[in-house]
Structure 1
C-alpha cells in the first residue's frame, strides 16, 4: 500500500514522473536530435542527455546563424538552448549594438539586402545622424553607433535628508529634459514644501533643493524669537524691501554699518543660485549652469538686521515646445544652451525619402530655426 505523504518517482524509458501528495509532473531530461539542413552535428545521435553540448557546422556556401564558422547548442531539460541553423553566407546574423535596439527577426537572421533602423536608448544619440544598417553580402554596412548625448546628464546630485522618488530603477545616463523629484525626510522640507523637481538641461541639472529644518533665528540684542517663515528673502520683518542702502531707524539715509552675517538670520534665497562661500562677514552667490548673474556677487548683513541687495540669476538658455511647431516632429519641450545649435527632426512628408532636420540656434535667450534640410545639406553646411 502506497503512503500518500511520501514523494515518489517512476522512471519510464527517457521520461520520469515526479509525484507529490496530490499530483505527478512529467518532465523529459533528454533532447531529440535537432534538424539541421545543410550542416552536420558532432556527435551525431538520436537523443542527447541533459547538459550535452552539441557542436555543428555548415556545408560550403552556408554558415551558422550565429557568430563564427562553427557553433554550439546545449540540451537543457528536454530543449535545446538555441536552434541550430545554416543560412546562406550572403545573409546576416543579428547585430550587437551597445545602447541601441532594432526590430528582431523571427527567423533569427536577416536576408541579404535587408535594412534595419536602430533606435538609441534614452540619453544616447546616433553618431553622425546615421540610424540604419544594410545587410550586404553577409556583412552589415554603415553600422550605427549610439553614443552618449552631449545633452544628457549624470546621476542627479545627492541631497542630504532627501531622496528621489520618481526614478526607479536608477540610470547611468539621464536624457535631456528628464525631471527628477526630490522628497525630504520627515521633519525636513524644501522652503516650506515637501517635494521639489529639478531638470536635466543641456547636460547639467538645474539647482538641487536643500532639505532643511525650520530654524527660528534670535534677533540681535536678545529679546523674543521671531520666525522668518513666510518672510520674503531680502526683506525686513515688516515685509519692506531691502536694497543696498538701509534704514538705520533714525531717519538717516547713510549706509548702515556692516556686521556679521549671523545677525541677519536666515540667508537670502536666490532662485537658480547657490551660496558657494559663507564667510563671517559675507555670503558669496553663484548662479547655476545656464543662468547669468545680474547684481552683486557678495551679500552682507547690515547693522540694522537687513541684508544688502541680492543678485538675480537670469536664464541663459532657450526652450522650444515642438508640439507647437507644425514642421517639427513632436518630442515635447527641448532646452538649448545659449550659443549652441541643436538639430530637431522635421515631420516626415510622403515625398521625402530621408529624414530632414531643422537647426535650432539659441542666442541671448532668442531662438531661431533653419528650414528643414536633409543629411547631405547638413553635412556640407548648405542648409
Structure 2
C-alpha cells in the first residue's frame, strides 16, 4: 500500500514521469533562424503541433508560407527550418528517385538527375531538373515503358508470389504463383510462372482441383505412400517452387537413390550450399537497380533505364548466411547538353540510351526557319552522332 501511494506522489511531483513511463518523450524547442514559433516554449509534449513562419526573404523547408511540425516521441516530424526564398525544397516526381540532400533542401542553381523506376522511362529524354529562383525548372516525367506490363491478371485458385504491391512491370519480368491448398497445375507444362511479353502477360497454366486432395495416406507420408512429387505439396521429397527441374535426379547431392532428402535447400553452386533467402537477412543493395522478382531460393535484379546489368541476374543465399555475387548496373547512355550545340534548342541536358536514337528540336531562331526542325541523335558506346537539322516536310526519318 505504501508503495502505491509513493508512486502516486511521484506523478504529482514530477509531471514528466507519466510520459517517461509510457515511453513517450518531450521535444526540445527547435532552433529556428530567420523565423518564429507558435507557441514559443522551451519544450513540447508528445503529439504537440508547432506552427512556424519565416522572415521576409526566407521560407519554410516544406510547401507553403507557414508550416506545421509535430512532436513525435522526442523528435519533430520534420525539423523546422527557414531557408532562402531562392532555394528549393525536394520535388515530388512520381515513379522516380534522385539523390536527396541531407539538409532537406537545395541551393539556387543546384541540379538533380532523375532515375526512373523499373518499367518506366524518361519522357522526351529529359532526366535533369535545376533549382532556379526557388522553383524547379522542367521537372522530368517518368512514363510507363511501351513494352511494360500492368498489374498481373487474376489467376483462379492461385496467389502471385511478389513482395509488395506493384502496378507496372518491365518487359521480360517473370512472376511466380502458387496454387491454393487442394489445387495444382497438371499436364506437361507445370511451370507456375507468367512472363511480361511486349506489354502483355503470358497465359498462366490453370490450377485444377487435385484428385487426391483430402484423402488419407497422402503427401504427409502416412500409409506408406510417397509424397506425390508436386512442387506445392508438403513433406518429404518436396521441391521448392523455383528450384531447378532436374535438381536431385540421378544420384544428386543427397546421394540416396537419386532423390533429394532435405527440404530447406539442397542445391549447390560453386561448392556453396544454397538455402532459402530468409536465412540471409537484408537483401543486397544494387545501385541503380531493384529486385523485380523474389522466389523462395533467389532474388532477381533488373537495372533502371539507361543502365546495363553486369554480372548474374539472380542472387542466391548460401547456408553460411552470405549472398552469392550480386550484379552491378553500369551506365549505358549518352549525355547531351543542348546548350553546347549551336544548332539545337537549349532545353537542358538530355539522355539517350546506348544503341538508341532520339529526336531533338533545333533552334528555330538561330536559323530563321518557318517550320520546326529536328535533329536525329544516336548514342553508340557512349558517343553521340548528331544529324542535320531537317523539317518533317524534308523527310526527317529518311535522313534528309
TM-score computed with the length of structure 1 as normaliser: 0.53
2:156 paired with 1:160: yes
2:16 paired with 1:15: yes
- Deviation of 1:10 after TM superposition, in Å, equals 3.3
Spell out, residue by residue over 1:127-154, the C-alpha distance to the aligned partner (whole angstroms, 9 max, x if none): 1121111111211111011122221112
- Deviation of 1:108 after TM superposition, in Å, equals 0.6
* Higher gyration radius (CA): 1
Cα distance change, pair 98–331 in 1 and its aligned pair in 2 (3 A): farther
CA distance in 1, matches of 2:332, 2:105: 32
2:164 paired with 1:169: yes
Contact 1:10/1:18 (CA < 8 Å) preserved in 2? no
CA distance in 1, matches of 2:23, 2:202: 60
Gaps of 5+ in 1: 216-322, 334-344, 362-368
- Deviation of 1:194 after TM superposition, in Å, equals 3.9
Paired position in structure 2 for 1:252: none
Spell out, residue by residue over 1:203-225, the C-alpha distance to the aligned partner (whole angstroms, 9 max, x if none): 1112322334699xxxxxxxxxx
Cα distance change, pair 181–48 in 1 and its aligned pair in 2 (3 A): closer
Paired position in structure 2 for 1:272: none
CA distance in 2, matches of 1:142, 1:101: 16
Cα distance change, pair 160–379 in 1 and its aligned pair in 2 (3 A): farther
2:133 paired with 1:132: no
Contact 2:47/2:70 (CA < 8 Å) preserved in 1? yes
CA distance in 2, matches of 1:49, 1:72: 15
CA distance in 1, matches of 2:173, 2:116: 16
Contact 1:32/1:47 (CA < 8 Å) preserved in 2? yes
Contact 2:334/2:353 (CA < 8 Å) preserved in 1? no
RMSD over aligned Cα atoms: 4.3
Spell out, residue by residue over 1:331-369, the C-alpha distance to the aligned partner (whole angstroms, 9 max, x if none): 899xxxxxxxxxxx97358999964434569xxxxxxx9
What aligned pairs does 1:178-327 form with structure 2 within 5 A after superposition?
178-185=173-180, 186=182, 188-212=184-208
Paired position in structure 1 for 2:371: none
- Deviation of 1:163 after TM superposition, in Å, equals 3.4
CA distance in 1, matches of 2:130, 2:2: 65
- Deviation of 1:110 after TM superposition, in Å, equals 0.6
Cα distance change, pair 379–52 in 1 and its aligned pair in 2 (3 A): farther
TM-score computed with the length of structure 2 as normaliser: 0.51
CA distance in 2, matches of 1:349, 1:191: 49
Paired position in structure 2 for 1:308: none
**How many residues are aligned here?**
250
Spell out, residue by residue over 1:180-237, the C-alpha distance to the aligned partner (whole angstroms, 9 max, x if none): 223445453242354332211221112322334699xxxxxxxxxxxxxxxxxxxxxx
Gaps of 5+ in 2: 212-301, 313-329, 338-348, 358-377, 391-395
